A and B are shown apart, each in its own frame.
Chain A
Amino acid sequence: MQLQKRTFGDVTVITLDGILDSGTAQAVQADLEHLIPDQGRVLLDLGKMSYMSSAGLRVMLLAYRRALASGARLALARLPADVREVMTATGFLDFFAVSDTVEEGLEALV
């Protein structure tokens, strides 16, 4: 799993590339802790994520809480169909604003 950070104005876009499961969750968790800024706005781009397991869901919960605690605003973009399905079924999707493209996500965070 690769994490990449870009900045568009004051929005931080973090791209998650690869598999988010029990094997990668701990590293991703640690990376996100660093990458999510205090305050400001964050868009997680999941377009290149090929799989998310329950451990991945807990990472998303952590990101949500991290943002909540620091006052950052957090949204998700480009959810693959099966990731969207698992997040919907488990109720995790309700925590986030969701958009189909990065551009829409940037607009939604304004």
Chain B
Amino acid sequence: MNDIAPRNGGLLAGRSIAILMEADYVEPELHYYLRRFPEEGARVVLLTRLWGQPSLTFRGHEYQIPITVDGDLEALEAGGLDEFDALIVPSGMVSDRLRYSQSAGELAPAVRLLRTAFATKGLLKGIICHGIWLAAPIPEAIRGRRVTCHNNLVADVRNMGAQYADQDVVVDGDLVTARTASHCHLFARMLIDLLAARQTRRSRLVVPMASSNSNGAIEPSAQERAEPQSAQASVNQLDFSVSDLVAGYVTSYDADRRVLDLRTTDGRPYRVMVSDATTAEFVRNLGDPYDDASGVLPELLLPGRHVFARGVFYPDSDERTFGATGLVFSGHGPADYSFERPDWWIQQLRELAVFYRRAQFGTAAHPDYGAYRTTLRLGGEKTGSYRQETDTISRLVYGMASAYMLTGDEDFLEVADRGTDYLRDHMRFVDRDEDVVYWYHGIDVGDGTETKVFASEFGDDYDAIPMYEQIYALGGPTQLYRITGDDRIAADIDGTLRLFQRFFLDPEHGGYFSHIDPVHLSPRHESLGHNRARKNWNSVGDHAPAYLINLFLATGDEKHSAMLESTYDLVVQHMPETGSPFVQERFHADWSPDRGWGWQQNRAVVGHNLKIAWNLMRLMAITPKSSYSELARRIGLTMPAFGSDQQRGGWYDVMERELQAGQRQHRFTWHNRKAWWQQEQAILAYQVLAGYLGDAEFVRQGREASAFYNAFFLDHDDGGVYFNVLADGIPYLLGNERFKGSHSMSLCHSAELCYLATVYQHLLLRREPLTLWFRPQPNGFRRDRVLRVAPDAFPPGRVRLEWVEVDGRPYPAFDPAAMTVKLPETGSPVTVRAHLVPADE
């Protein structure tokens, strides 16, 4: 009997959680659930086999505490699970008692209920400790799925065909398992996070699952019996051949019959027919030759290996045949992922930087920005356009500066340096009346003349100064400032920050407006139209990743950490909403949601959610707050089910934030293509989460995102990365998406990915050293003559500076823990190499 009232208005208000019960339960565990879930607003219902009684009272394992149960699981079997959001099989001897049946081999009612639960995709199944015994009579339910359990039962779950993971809590799609009753709090917390992210029970799908009765014959499941067969009358049947991609882990390979069995990331099985015509290759980096794998398939197709299978589904029977046309392997050895090699992302950044260097400036010894053009074709050729957009130059500068930090190649530094000079000379507007700096949208050059383009000409931002462009105008110069400490850059950054504080800031409700009008510098002027008095994700949250964290790393200035904190407090306060797994991205001045704006309406950009997650974790190193890590973790746990493609790998673009009646998948707004920068957000979100929290699930998500990106986005023919690929990874090369220089392509995000993936992979994930390059000017970092070499905002004590070289000689004046170098007084720039190592924990 459970008389604990749920809290009104909690995260789980209106949700119901069923817990199976029997004698020998673990008292602290059950008592925790009975209070913890109601605390979040959920109703808890205890179920058992009542044997015809109105109720039964069970005594606990340790203290013989009685609990009376009046919920009858046998009464639930036909459709009764629909009222629940989650079903929990607890620790202790509950599961063993519940699998009792009078006739040997007959499935006990609780086992049949569990089987129904497993067939109900979307009903969360929580199994902890010895609870997994209840699945033993129906091993098909957990075969191939990732689970954890009590140490004593590891062999049992392996015998059931599950993949044992040595973790306290494991999430495999809609199945959550935990190690022991002592982990019941972690288990409950995970269930709460996952339930909170699910909108309602209506997104549930019942999947008929073939099962065997005691004679071994196939019988239809309860759902199949219950639901009328309407196949003959149905429309839109997929009974034709269709080409597609399957991403998964090998579960077995029969080399004689050439039958390959895979499990997708969310645990669904696929059978792939390999043939003589199937090509096979290893994922390769930019600059690497084709790496054939077709000769060694039996040695490669070992259980656990990650592989992409491209092929054709044929409608031979209800179980379609999938004939592979090509395989792409993510690494050479069983646990090897090529993109985790120490030099992978560094090489990729070098190749990208060489591509843009050549495309913009040819082979000239020194780059001439007069020749720079924003629009580049697929192969890097220029078009008839004479436009130079400010933020695309800034992004190029960011990429080149980052490439210098990782490679020490001074050509990249010169491209960054001259680009910053060019921005200052041609794109900068110094408003002496207001004592602020802002940046033209761009300039048109041609025939020796130069026409300034004052305000944005993008449709979204027409005739306004968008915060987004001003933010990104700072991105490149700030990254260069980390290296050189150039005073002139600092002055421009400070002037632009004054623009933000004086004209974009909303002192009344907090945060920054997304646009101001160029004449009155007002966020509320009529001429702004639908951008009048608005705030959005970019105007508040994008400061941190675009320049502000880097500026804080370079200066250590508390006013920058204060701005970081205030912007992310607003992100945490206003952007997550119950009712959608995705954050709300647009707001009116008073922070009421704006769901009518332009193309955004009530839609989500998947990558913005992920970007919030990785930047919240970085802020944990600067202004730590539990609300930051909680939201980051929740986004990390919930986003794969909604924003990623669990069939093919990769991450989607823009999606509807809410389900409509009859839908069980959130709709794509325009298409199901995958933009390269969304992949960047996923890779970084999971690498940063894994780096901070060490969770194996986050490691896996990061790997899978990296695998898709490196397999399908690198343009091995022309250089650079593709803007967009179709859902199955084929490059989408039409219209604007053939370009490689636009505001979203110009070596900013692709370089940011290479830089941060290098940093996190080396120092936090694989615990390998990393050497960075800097080149401070003689007057650089004038305030204190201190060069700050921390590659990113790391948790305290995780990384230290081991040695420093100045102009090739060992240099002693540095602080290993603070990762700072006291610069020598010199008359010319010096080259500083900083060797960083993971610290002993």
Residue of B at shortest CB range from A92? Answer: B452
Chain A residue with Cβ nearest B519 = A62
Known: A61-B519, A92-B452. 6 other contacts (CB 8 A): A22-B433, A53-B432, A90-B452, A91-B450, A94-B449, A94-B452
A53-B433, A54-B430 known; A65 vs B519 contact (CB < 8 Å): yes
A55 proximity list for chain B (CB < 8 A)? 431, 433-434
CA distance A61 to B463 in the complex (A): 11
Residue B440 is within 8 A (CB to CB) of chain A in the complex: yes
Q: Does B443 contact A (CB under 8 A)?
A: yes
Contact B452 A21 (CB under 8 A): no
Minimal Cβ-Cβ distance residue in B for A26: B520
Instruction: Report how far A25 CA is from B433 CA in the complex, Å.
Output: 11
For the complex formed, measure the closest distance between the CB of A14 and the CB atoms of chain B, giving whole angstroms: 18
Q: Tell me the chain B residues, 499-550 only, with Cβ under 8 Å from chain A.
A: 518-521
**Is B429 located at the chain interface by the 8 A CB criterion?**
yes
In the assembled complex, which residues on chain B have CB atoms less than 8 Å from the CB atom of A59? 519
Most chain B CB inside 10 Å of its own CB: which residue of A22, A25, A61, A94: A94
Residues from chain A with a CB closer than 8 A to the CB of B450 are 91
Interfacial chain B residues near A90, Cβ < 8 Å: 429, 452
Q: Which residues from 52 to 103 on chain A have a C-beta closer than 8 Å to any C-beta of chain B? A: 53-55, 58-59, 61-62, 65, 90-92, 94
> Considering residues B431, B434, B519, which has the most beta carbons from chain A within 10 angstroms of its beta carbon?
B519
Given A90-B429, A91-B443; A61-B454 close (CB under 8 Å) = yes
Are B434 and A91 in touch, CB under 8 angstroms? no
| Contact mask for chain B residues 418-460; partner A; CB cutoff 8 A; 1 contact, 0 none | 0000000000011111100000100100000111101000000
When chains A and B are docked, how far (Å) is the Cα of A72 from the Cα of B368?
40
Contact A58 B432 (CB under 8 A): no
CB proximity to B under 8 Å, residues A10-53: 21-22, 25, 29, 53
In the bound assembly, the distance between CA atoms of A58 and B429 in angstroms comes to 11
Q: Which residues of A contact B449 (CB under 8 A)?
A: 94
B524 to chain A, nearest CB (A): 15
Determine if B434 and A22 form an interchain contact, defined as CB atoms under 8 angstroms apart.
yes
B432: chain A residues at CB < 8 Å are: 53-54
Can you name 25 A-B residue pairings with CB atoms under 8 Å? A21-B433, A22-B434, A25-B433, A29-B519, A53-B432, A54-B429, A54-B431, A55-B433, A55-B434, A58-B518, A58-B519, A58-B520, A58-B521, A59-B519, A61-B454, A61-B518, A61-B519, A90-B429, A90-B452, A91-B443, A91-B452, A91-B454, A92-B452, A94-B451, A94-B452
A102 to B449, CA, bound (A): 26
Residues of B within 8 A of A54 (CB): 429-434
Cβ-closest chain A residue relative to B453: A91
Q: How far is the CB of A89 from chain B (nearest CB, A)?
A: 10
**B518 — nearest CB in chain A belongs to which residue?**
A61
Nearest 9 CB-CB pairings of A with B: A91-B452, A54-B431, A22-B433, A55-B433, A62-B519, A54-B433, A94-B451, A53-B433, A58-B519
The chain B residue with its CB closest to the CB of A62 is B519
Which residues on B sit within 8 Å (CB–CB) of A58? Answer: 518-521
Q: Chain B CB within 10 Å — which of A25, A55, A91, A94 has the most?
A: A91
Binding site for A on B (CB under 8 A): 429-434, 440, 443, 449-452, 454, 463, 518-521
Question: What chain A residues lie within 8 Å of B440 (beta carbons)?
Answer: 91
Most buried by B among A21, A29, A65: A65
Report B-chain residues with C-beta under 8 Å of the C-beta of A25: 433
Residues in B whose Cβ lies below 8 Å from that of A61: 454, 518-519
Q: What residue in chain A is nearest B455 (Cβ atoms)?
A: A61
Quick one: closest A residue to B463, CB to CB? A65
B518: chain A residues at CB < 8 Å are: 58, 61
Complex Cα spacing A29 to B522, Å: 14
- From residue A90, how far is it (CB to closest CB) to chain B in Å? 6
Which B residues are CB-close (under 8 A) to A65?
463, 519
Closest to A22 in B: B433
Q: Nearest chain B CB to A40's CB is how many angstroms away?
A: 22
Q: Of residues A21, A55, A59, which shows the largest number of chain B Cβ atoms within 10 Å of its Cβ? A: A55
Residue of B nearest to A56 (CB): B433
Chain A residue nearest to B450 (CB atoms) is: A91
Residues in chain B near residue A62, CB distance under 8 A: 519
Alpha-carbon separation in the docked complex, A5 to B805 (Å) = 70
Q: How far is the CB of B387 from chain A (nearest CB, A)?
A: 14
CA distance A21 to B434 in the complex (A): 10
| Residues from chain A with Cβ under 8 Å of B520 in the complex | 58
**What distance in Å separates the Cβ of A85 from its nearest Cβ neighbour in chain B?**
14
Q: How far is the CA of A89 from the CA of B384 in the complex (A)?
A: 26
**How distant is B595 from chain A, measured CB to nearest CB, in Å?**
30
Report the minimum CB–CB distance from B430 to chain A (whole Å): 7
CA distance A90 to B454 in the complex (A): 10
**B283 → chain A closest CB, angstroms:** 47
| Cα A96 to Cα B431 with chains together (Å) | 21
The residue in chain A whose Cβ has the minimal distance to the Cβ of B430 is: A54
Q: Which residues does chain B contribute within 8 Å of A21, judged by CB atoms?
A: 433
Min distance, Cβ A94 to any Cβ of chain B, angstroms: 5
User: How distant is B596 from chain A, measured CB to nearest CB, in Å?
Assistant: 25
Cα-based distance from A58 to B521 in the complex (angstroms) = 9
CA distance A53 to B450 in the complex (A): 21
* Chain B residue with the shortest CB-CB distance to A21: B433
* A29–B520 alpha-carbon span in the complex (Å): 10
What is the CB-to-nearest-CB distance from B423 to chain A, in angstroms, rounded to a whole number? 14
- Bound-state CA distance A94–B451 (Å) is 6
Bound form: Cα–Cα A53–B433 in Å: 7
Closest CB of chain B to A82's CB: distance in Å? 13
Q: Within the assembled complex, what's the spacing in Å between the Cα atoms of A65 and B520? A: 13
Give the CA-CA distance A54 to B521 in the complex, in Å: 12
Residue of B nearest to A61 (CB): B519
Q: State the Cβ distance, B499 to closest chain A Cβ, in Å.
A: 12
Q: In the assembled complex, which residues on chain A have CB atoms less than 8 Å from the CB atom of B454? A: 61, 91
Q: With A and B bound together, what is the CA distance between A92 and B440 in angstroms?
A: 11
Assembled-state Cα–Cα distance A38/B639 (Å)? 54
CA distance A71 to B224 in the complex (A): 71
Q: Nearest B residue to A54 by beta-carbon distance? A: B431
- List B contacts of A94 (CB < 8 A): 449, 451-452
Name the residue of chain A whose CB is nearest to the CB of B449. Answer: A94
Report B-chain residues with C-beta under 8 Å of the C-beta of A22.
Answer: 433-434
CB distance from A108 to the nearest CB of B (A): 19
| Interchain nearest-CB distance for A55 vs B (Å) | 4
| A25 to B432 Cα, complex, angstroms | 14
Question: Which of chain A's residues have a CB closer than 8 A to the CB of B463?
Answer: 65
Separation of A22 and B430 alpha carbons in the complex (Å): 14
Q: Point out the residues of chain A lying under 8 angstroms from B519, CB to CB.
A: 29, 58-59, 61-62, 65
A53 to B452, CA, bound (A): 18
Residues of A within 8 A of B443 (CB): 91
Shortest CB-to-CB span from B143 to chain A, Å, is 68
Bound form: Cα–Cα A21–B433 in Å: 7
A55 to B430, CA, bound (A): 11
Determine the distance from Cα of A22 to Cα of B434 in the docked complex, in whole angstroms.
8
B426 nearest CB neighbor, chain A only: A91
Task: Please name all residues of chain B whose beta carbon is closer than 8 Å to the beta carbon of A53 when the two chains form the complex.
Answer: 432-433
- Closest residue of chain A to B436 (Cβ to Cβ) is A54
- Residue among A21, A61, A90 with the highest chain B CB neighbour number at 10 A: A90
Which residues on A sit within 8 Å (CB–CB) of B451?
Answer: 91, 94
Once the chains are docked, how many angstroms separate the CA of A53 from the CA of B520? Answer: 14
CA distance A29 to B463 in the complex (A): 18
Least CB separation from A94: chain B residue: B451
Expressed in whole angstroms, the Cα–Cα distance for A21 and B440 within the complex equals 21
Interface centre among B434, B440, B452, B454, by most chain A C-beta atoms within 10 angstroms, is: B454
Chain B residues near A92 (CB-CB < 8 A): 452
CB distance from B164 to the nearest CB of A (A): 66
What's the minimum C-beta distance from A87 to chain B, rounded to whole angstroms? Answer: 11
Could you tell me the distance between the alpha carbons of A59 and B431 in the complex, rounded to whole angstroms?
Answer: 13
Expressed in whole angstroms, the minimum distance between the Cβ of B679 and any Cβ of chain A is: 38
Nearest CB of chain A from residue B452's CB, rounded to whole Å: 3
CA A94 to CA B446, docked complex, whole Å: 13
Min CB–CB distance B108 → chain A (angstroms): 78
Measured in the bound complex, the distance between the Cα atoms of B519 and A65 in whole Å is 9
Report the minimum CB–CB distance from B429 to chain A (whole Å): 6
Assembled-state Cα–Cα distance A20/B734 (Å):
50
